[in-house]
Amino acid sequence: MSIDTSPTKLGLRERKKQQTRDKIAAVALRLFAERGYDETTLAEIAQAADVSPRTIFGYYESKDDILFCEEGHHLDALRRKLDERPAGVTTIDAIRELVSSLEAPDETARLRKQIITASPALQMRMRARHAELEPLLAESIAKDLGAGPDDVRPLLVAASMTAAFMAARDRFFDSASRGEEISHEQGMRILDQTLEFLRGGFEALQGE
């Protein structure tokens, strides 16, 4: 028996897999919001999504992986952006271009933010995931500066950039917890101003 591997069939399979993945995430977020993150089990998510627990593990490793799946997507998008940037495009330029392409959060994103905002423990876990950003930035900045392995400048710049992004993220979440959520447009302006500020120090290092 032959197996049809045409692009159409492969595309259909991928779409069905993505639909299952999205359904699991949507159901999980709804349960987290209704029952609480810690109180919701993977078995309950599987039952509500009408899939087996084994199916969930085919898409997600844990509840944390479901809740923070977008963080991984964003990190992967940044990694691709930095790897594929043409000569002359700096790390700051690439990040700014990526940020400018971000769309306003949809209902799923807002629900995810609401769940995380309500729990200091989840906010700490999100901060830990953001820590993965620092080595990625350091590697990219080292290329910009032509720095060797013993050059500490890329590490310092990456740490400063990560701290700035963390501060901006905390500002967004603090506002949301007080019922003063910053609009998408305001958030984009803050991020753009942050990147412009970082550009000044980065260009000073490039000129050395």
In tens, the pLDDT along 80-92 reads 999 999 888 888 8
Same domain, 97 and 163: yes
pLDDT of 171 above 70: no
Of the residues 65, 97, 112, the one at which a domain ends: 65
- The CA distance from 29 to 111, in Å, is 7
Which is it for the CA torsion 71, 77, 83, 86, positive or negative? negative
Number of separate domains in the chain: 2
At 61-78, the pLDDT tens digits run 999 999 998 888 888 888
What is the domain-level CATH number for residue 23?
1.10.10.60
Using an 8 Å Cβ cutoff, are 117 and 123 in contact? yes
Q: What is the mean pLDDT of the chain?
A: 82
Higher local confidence (pLDDT), 100 or 10: 100
- The CA distance from 196 to 190, in Å, is 10
Higher local confidence (pLDDT), 106 or 137: 137
Higher local confidence (pLDDT), 181 or 119: 119
Of the residues 46, 65, 84, the one at which a domain ends: 65
Share of the chain above pLDDT 70, in %: 84
CA neighbor of 95 nearest in space, from 207, 204, 202, 208: 202
In a domain, 140, yes or no: yes
In a domain, 2, yes or no: no
In a domain, 52, yes or no: yes
- The CA distance from 208 to 186, in Å, is 34
Higher local confidence (pLDDT), 141 or 100: 141
Higher local confidence (pLDDT), 66 or 178: 66
